[in-house]
Amino acid sequence: MPDHKKTIRVMLIDCRPLVLMGLHDVINARRPQMEVSGHATTYTHALDLADQLRPNVIFFSFFPDALNPLEVVAGLVRNREMKVLVLKGLYESIPMTEVLEAGARGIVLAEDPTEAIVRAIVKVHHHDCGLDRAWAGELSDYAATRHVSLGCNKERAKQARLTLRERELIYAIVGDPSAKYMSIAERLGISEHTVHNHLSNIYQKLDLINRIDLLMYALKHDLTGNEGADDSSRAGPH
């Protein structure tokens, strides 16, 4: 069981200097909670460095390389003490289900607020409850059936805490998953800052990490704006 008082050692894998610099600054700003233990700009170096450093969390990006990134993820997670967290650009085409099946514990968007990225690192390390392989299997089942029952009372209770405005925001994200936050704010007639505040509340109420997590949750539990008047009436006030 992880020691919550020990510094979380994070290794970065990315070929872009600016991305590495940004992540380095975000993570090291949270010392002593977490710190960057090293970084690699090729997958071959990443495998070697991970063996040397034994980091707790590995921030992994997809980029052109001689090695297959999915095979690299699978190789990294053979050591169960190392958790892989994938960094995805909003418009990058990454096979999310295959990434999770390879052993990644979570996916964060590069566009996510820094606090969401920090929360994802902490959650994946301490609780090991990121998007695991079983969850990936459920995604595959969902893709085949396009429907999952809302039979879980626990999830119904979580969803009942959502306000009408928070539900509207979820519907907007499901309706256009690639939309910028500014565009969503304009559509809903609110500020971009308010969008981020609502998202933070939604993540907390539904126990989610980020926008991708929310999108998958909404699709899985049919929070798409088409679930009917009865569900809407259970939402709280604005």
Residue 48 CA: distances (Å) to CA of 39, 41, 76: 11, 12, 10
**Backbone Cα Rg of the chain:** 18
pTM of the model: 0.60
Residue 56 CA: distances (Å) to CA of 15, 48, 50, 53, 169: 21, 15, 10, 9, 34
Question: Is residue 209 a contact partner of residue 135, using CB atoms and an 8 Å limit?
Answer: no
Which pLDDT score, from 0 to 100, does residue 55 have? 97
Question: Is residue 9 a contact partner of residue 31, using CB atoms and an 8 Å limit?
Answer: no
Question: Is residue 123 a contact partner of residue 106, using CB atoms and an 8 Å limit?
Answer: yes
- End-to-end Cα, the chain, rounded Å: 40
User: Which segments of 35-80 does DSSP mark as H helices, in order?
Assistant: 43-53, 69-76
Tens of pLDDT, residue by residue over 38-65, are 999 999 999 999 999 999 999 999 999 9
Which pLDDT score, from 0 to 100, does residue 95 have? 76
Which pLDDT score, from 0 to 100, does residue 210 have? 80
Which pLDDT score, from 0 to 100, does residue 4 have? 61
Which pLDDT score, from 0 to 100, does residue 154 have? 73
Positions in the chain whose pLDDT score sits under 70:
1-4, 127-153, 226-238
Fold of 8-136: Rossmann fold (3.40.50)
Judge if 8-136 and 147-233 fold alike in CATH terms.
no
Which pLDDT score, from 0 to 100, does residue 170 have? 93
Which pLDDT score, from 0 to 100, does residue 209 have? 80
Which pLDDT score, from 0 to 100, does residue 222 have? 81
Which pLDDT score, from 0 to 100, does residue 148 have? 38
Which pLDDT score, from 0 to 100, does residue 221 have? 82
Compute φ and ψ for 38, nearest 5 degrees.
Answer: 170, 170
As a whole number of angstroms, the distance between CA 66 and CA 64 comes to: 7
Phi-psi map region of 168: left, alpha, beta (phi>0 left; psi -120 to 50 alpha): alpha
Which pLDDT score, from 0 to 100, does residue 135 have? 37
Q: What is the dihedral of CA 7, 9, 207, 139, to 10 degrees?
A: -160
Please give the CATH number for the structural domain made up of 147-233: 1.10.10.10
Give me the residue spans of the domains in the chain: 8-136, 147-233
As a whole number of angstroms, the distance between CA 29 and CA 74 comes to: 30
Q: Count CA atoms closer than 13 A to 63's CA, side-chain side.
A: 15
Tens of pLDDT, residue by residue over 135-151, are 334 444 444 443 333 34
